[in-house]
Amino acid sequence: MKLGALLSEIKGKQSRLARLMSISEQTMYVEKGKTPKLNYKETSEEIDKLIPEIRQLKLKVQEANLRNKLPDFNITLAEAIIKVADLRSLMSHKSGLIKYSKENLWGMEDKKIDYIPQMEEKELEKEVEELSREKIKLDNAIQKANWSIDV
């Protein structure tokens, strides 16, 4: 089985688990004298069975991510996944710095304060674009690996 297929299987099981948990909340209590549409005990048993199944599948993914390298980047798949998260965080942070002038930020119209950036916004935008390109390359390499690695 390819890693990508395993990830899809996990996603499907996690969706099923979320639905079952929602159903169990709705079926825990039943109106006195009425028969429930779904049996709470059966739903709970299915939940209890799914959780360790998902955990074992996630462990297989972790093992594959640690065992396999992305050749063009010379890092493991696990590190690449973490790096993508780091790049997203940096992009979000730097994008948030590209803002309008902060004059009268706190509603003090009578005390006008002008702020100037310590770095040109064009340079900051350029950094965000470079981070974005790096993230896209890494994302593509991860996707390629997911559908070429056997687990």
- Element housing 150 (H / E): none
How much is the pLDDT for 21?
A: 95
CA pair distance 35, 20, nearest whole angstrom: 19
- Please state, as a whole number, how many other Cβ atoms lie within 10 Å of the Cβ of residue 68: 19
pLDDT tens across 76-127, in order?
999 999 999 999 999 999 988 876 555 555 566 666 667 778 888 899 999 9
How much is the pLDDT for 116?
A: 77
- Element housing 9 (H / E): helix 3-27
- 128 pLDDT higher than 90: yes
HSE-up of residue 35 (Cα within 13 Å, Cβ side): 1
How much is the pLDDT for 98?
A: 77
Q: Describe the chain by its helix, strand, coil percentages, rounded to 5.
A: 65, 5, 30
Domain boundaries, the chain: 1-67, 70-151
pLDDT tens across 31-78, in order?
899 888 888 899 999 999 999 999 999 999 999 999 999 989 999 999
Query: Among candidates 70, 65, 58, which has minimal Cα distance to 140?
Result: 70
Taking the model in full, what pTM does it have? 0.80
Query: Among candidates 56, 70, 34, which has minimal Cα distance to 144?
Result: 70
How much is the pLDDT for 107?
A: 60
CA pair distance 148, 73, nearest whole angstrom: 16
Q: Which of 4-13, 27-36, 131-140 has the lowest mean pLDDT?
A: 27-36
Pairing of strands 69-70, 75-76: antiparallel
CA pair distance 137, 2, nearest whole angstrom: 21
Q: Which residues of 7-45 are buried (b: 16+ CB within 10 A; e: fewer)?
A: beebeebeeebeebeebbeebeeeeeeeeeeeebeebee
How much is the pLDDT for 27?
A: 84
What distance separates the 2 farthest-apart alpha carbons in the chain?
71
Helix axes 3-27 and 40-67, enclosed angle (nearest 10): 160
How much is the pLDDT for 145?
A: 96
